[in-house]
Structure 1
Amino acid sequence: MGLPRTATTFAPPVMEARRWLDGVTHPADRPLLNVSQAAPVDAPPQPMLEAMAQIVLTDPAAHLYGPVLGLPDLREAVADRWSRDYGGTVSPAQVAITSGCNQAFAAAIATLCAEGDEVILPVPYYFNHAMWLDMSGVVTVPLQTGDGLIPDARDAAALITERTRAIVLVSPNNPGGVEYPAATLAAFRDLCHAQGVALIVDETYRDFDARTGAAHDLFIDPDWDDTLIQLYSFSKAYRLTGHRVGAITAAPARLAEVEKFLDTVAICPNQLGQRAALWGMRNLDQWLAGERAEILDRRAVIQDQFAPLAAQGWKILGCGAYFAYLQHPFDLPSDQVAQRLVAGAGILCLPGTMFRPKADTAGQRELRIAFANIDRAGIAELFTRLAAYTP
């Protein structure tokens, strides 16, 4: 008898890390610095809250089932924005709204893969991607990344087999923070097109990319949906994490298959969340630009103030979006370092072992710092504590 699906994968890393807090007290002069989760903890901005309150009170449809593939006005808004931002052509028929970006990934894999198929993930990878592949009976094929954590399409080509169904890229990257060059994405697009496999590009953090203009030209090809499946999350842009609103952009024929998955899992995306996301796209561009500027400022602080830690043997392997991905100098595996940091320094972060397969020992030297919820002063305090800490 085989294992049930959920038994084929590991425990949710963020929830596992939270259990490290059990029984640990933090003195008033050294409160916990929680840099474990890549999600804003603040509520949406006040104007959005007021708009949402009016929606709750005045829009009866916000409380009912809606179209499985999402609110038509929101699908149209995403298509228009993507067409403008990427310089290509995206139609509403190529957009579906999902209950968060994780569901968008799950739906995409459900349309692509059968038992025993393979999907290539650059490592370190986003752990929920690996978890869903495990539970789907799909083999995760790790693609090693070199200096800068940028994957190479030539290395990926050597991993493709007759069972390969997709390559997944996350840019800006979780957990590494790095922004993949446009040329890298184009090379993967060309490889996937030539090999007849899908290219899944998760752009959850696109709103916090440090570059100006389009991050890539994948949508310029009029036949982009032959190969590309793009994923997005409204959670990070508008602080809507609890409302679970994401998007998948792909060929209409694929979205017809996605509809089967979504209808049996959630029936429709969150109605209030969709309307809030639409209101945000129509009204919060200037506010979102300020949010991006704040995140980029924190990234700069991390890079500019890292020298004392570097002198102690720490390294920045990647930095961007919400993340700093670090190499620690200690003669202990990172899962032990991360657990000891809770009581020893009042820091909750995730070890690199959570972002790589068990057999990949590189994760034993790595830690992910999610800095979306610590300001300049918090970053300075984080570095002070890390510099003073010994296991």
Structure 2
Amino acid sequence: MTSRTESTFPPPVMEARRWLDGVTFSDAKPLLNVSQAAPVDPPPQPLLDAMAEALKDPATHLYGPVLGLPALRTELAAQWADHYHGAVRPDQVAITSGCNQAFAAVISAICTEGDEVILPTPWYFNHKMWLDMAGVRAVPLATGGDLIPDAEAARTFITPRTRAIALVTPNNPGGVEYPADTLDAFFALARDTGIRLIVDETYRDFDSRPTPPHTLLQDAEWDNTLIQLYSFSKAYRLTGHRVGAMIAHPALLAEVEKFLDTVAICPSQLGQRAALWGLQNLRQWLAGERDEILGRRRAIEDNMPKLTAKGWRLMGVGAYFAYLEHPFAESSATLAPKLVQEAGILTLPGTMFMPADDPAGARQFRVAFANIDAAGIATLFDRLAVLDWPLAARETGQ
């Protein structure tokens, strides 16, 4: 008998960290850790001060409402409506213990064993892991060289057991920002077929576009189809406090509440107060954080010719990620531990984001640049450019 957890693979980031065991790095060639998209710096000092003040409030240490603090739900609804030029009410917002929990809660609320959810590949591995553990079949939707999924291709995978399509934009792991037309097409597909469209916008705050990335919330009945997920972790460096959000129909949130109440009872009170203070006071600071990330994105693009000349290809870049195709004969699953030992680079292979029977993952790597500045990016690309591993045989046309 296989248990729920045995039905899926080990957590990729934790597995990759084990490649560091027994390896030492010199001062001249320190480890470049580009494996995880989590800021390691603490929140800005004004937010730390606000959190310290919140600790003095006795309510911070008690259970709170399962769906989150009313003030935070109200503030997020107002800002979400303003950003997307749509209509969002507080009763359409739930606060969760991180965005991963929001996804788990949604799947528990809309699926049962044997149901199906369509995931574009390369997929976010935690989405696949939860579907495995929930007994829900993940249906892979290949995206091709540009990493942009196609709604009409997805239509061919919809069956009577399909309950949702889950998109991540800006994408993890690919970094690409889905065009508004792509999201419109998926929304129309989901609405017309009676399934849900889940849009995970964890990295929304680092989208390069000056205008709202989509207009889905301008549909008067958006909440019959659309479920949006969000995380405060990246925006305000609150990864350890686990605060996420879900924007959806109130009736669905009533089902979600059952899941949340039995898993965590309520989100972290301190984390929620920090998120609320951040929404109300850190808009300008967050704009600066976005500018920094966009600068690192430009550094990726500027340094890419070093690798292009060696046969690499940049498949996608944006938010916290660059997704690369390598030219070597061996699989990225084999090469990733070798990168630690021979180049001092910790990164994740594409095989961690692909179905086991999809050979494309063997040619790919994800680079997470949340904690590596422009100078570090140049060093990273210099180290990759000098790798002299055996190359894959080139395909020739007929």
TM-score range normalised by the length of the shorter chain: over 0.9
Q: CA deviation at 1:390?
A: 2.7
Q: 2:81 aligns with which of 73, 80, 83?
A: 83
Residue 17 in structure 1 maps to residue 16 in structure 2: yes
TM-score, structure 1 as length reference? 0.99
CA contact (8 A) 2:170 2:203 kept: yes
CA contact (8 A) 2:306 2:382 kept: no
Q: Residue 396 of structure 2 aligns with which residue? A: none
Q: Residue 371 of structure 2 aligns with which residue? A: 373
Tell me the secondary structure at the aligned position of residue 240 of structure 2. Answer: helix
Q: Residue 222 of structure 1 aligns with which residue? A: 220
Q: Residue 93 of structure 2 aligns with which residue? A: 95
Q: 2:305 aligns with which of 299, 304, 307?
A: 307
The alignment yields a C-alpha RMSD, in angstroms, of 0.6
Tell me, in whole angstroms, the C-alpha distance in 1 between the residues paired with 2:210 and 2:12: 33
Q: CA deviation at 1:40?
A: 0.3
Q: 1:269 aligns with which of 267, 286, 293?
A: 267
Tell me the secondary structure at the aligned position of residue 103 of structure 2. Answer: helix
Q: CA deviation at 1:388?
A: 1.3
Q: CA deviation at 1:222?
A: 1.1
Q: 1:260 aligns with which of 248, 258, 264?
A: 258
Residue 8 in structure 1 maps to residue 14 in structure 2: no
Q: Residue 139 of structure 1 aligns with which residue? A: 137
Q: CA deviation at 1:305?
A: 1.7
Tell me the secondary structure at the aligned position of residue 5 of structure 2. Answer: helix
Q: CA deviation at 1:55?
A: 0.8
Q: Residue 181 of structure 2 aligns with which residue? A: 183
Deviations 1:213-239 (A, max 9, x none): 210001001100000000000000000
Q: CA deviation at 1:242?
A: 0.1
Deviations 1:49-89 (A, max 9, x none): 011111112x1111100000000000001100110000110
Deviations 1:256-282 (A, max 9, x none): 000000000000000000000000000
Tell me the secondary structure at the aligned position of residue 159 of structure 2. Answer: coil
Which 4+ runs in 1 deviate beyond 2 A? none
Q: 2:162 aligns with which of 164, 178, 181?
A: 164
Unmatched 5+ stretches in structure 1: none
Q: CA deviation at 1:148?
A: 1.2
Tell me the secondary structure at the aligned position of residue 119 of structure 2. Answer: strand
CA contact (8 A) 2:39 2:234 kept: yes
Tell me, in whole angstroms, the C-alpha distance in 2 between the residues paired with 1:114 and 1:383: 45
* Residue identity opposite 1:326 in structure 2: L
Q: Residue 52 of structure 1 aligns with which residue? A: 51
* Residue identity opposite 1:118 in structure 2: E
Tell me, in whole angstroms, the C-alpha distance in 1 between the residues paired with 2:26 and 2:233: 32
CA contact (8 A) 2:196 2:226 kept: yes
Tell me the secondary structure at the aligned position of residue 20 of structure 1. Answer: helix
Tell me the secondary structure at the aligned position of residue 306 of structure 1. Answer: helix
Q: 2:335 aligns with which of 315, 334, 337?
A: 337
Unmatched 5+ stretches in structure 2: 390-398
Q: 1:388 aligns with which of 375, 386, 391?
A: 386
Tell me, in whole angstroms, the C-alpha distance in 2 between the residues paired with 1:162 and 1:301: 46
Tell me the secondary structure at the aligned position of residue 217 of structure 2. Answer: coil
Q: CA deviation at 1:147?
A: 2.5
Deviations 1:163-205 (A, max 9, x none): 0000000000000000000000000000000000000000000
* Residue identity opposite 2:16 in structure 1: A
Tell me, in whole angstroms, the C-alpha distance in 2 between the residues paired with 1:328 and 1:221: 42
CA contact (8 A) 2:99 2:245 kept: yes
TM-score, structure 2 as length reference? 0.97
Tell me the secondary structure at the aligned position of residue 73 of structure 1. Answer: helix
Q: How many residues align?
A: 389
Tell me, in whole angstroms, the C-alpha distance in 1 between the residues paired with 2:156 and 2:374: 43
Tell me, in whole angstroms, the C-alpha distance in 2 between the residues paired with 1:328 and 1:63: 49
Q: Residue 72 of structure 1 aligns with which residue? A: 70
Q: Residue 34 of structure 1 aligns with which residue? A: 33
Tell me, in whole angstroms, the C-alpha distance in 2 between the residues paired with 1:243 and 1:235: 8
* Residue identity opposite 2:46 in structure 1: P
* Residue identity opposite 2:201 in structure 1: E
* Residue identity opposite 2:94 in structure 1: A
Residue 201 in structure 1 maps to residue 192 in structure 2: no
Q: Residue 174 of structure 1 aligns with which residue? A: 172
Pairs within 5 Å for 1:285-300: 285-300=283-298
* Residue identity opposite 2:232 in structure 1: F
Q: CA deviation at 1:304?
A: 1.4
Tell me, in whole angstroms, the C-alpha distance in 1 between the residues paired with 2:271 and 2:112: 32
* Residue identity opposite 1:213 in structure 2: T
Tell me, in whole angstroms, the C-alpha distance in 1 between the residues paired with 2:388 and 2:53: 52
Q: Residue 350 of structure 1 aligns with which residue? A: 348
Tell me, in whole angstroms, the C-alpha distance in 1 between the residues paired with 2:304 and 2:211: 29
Q: 2:109 aligns with which of 111, 124, 127?
A: 111
Q: Residue 318 of structure 2 aligns with which residue? A: 320
Tell me, in whole angstroms, the C-alpha distance in 2 between the residues paired with 1:146 and 1:9: 25
Tell me, in whole angstroms, the C-alpha distance in 1 between the residues paired with 2:249 and 2:257: 12
Tell me, in whole angstroms, the C-alpha distance in 2 between the residues paired with 1:96 and 1:315: 40
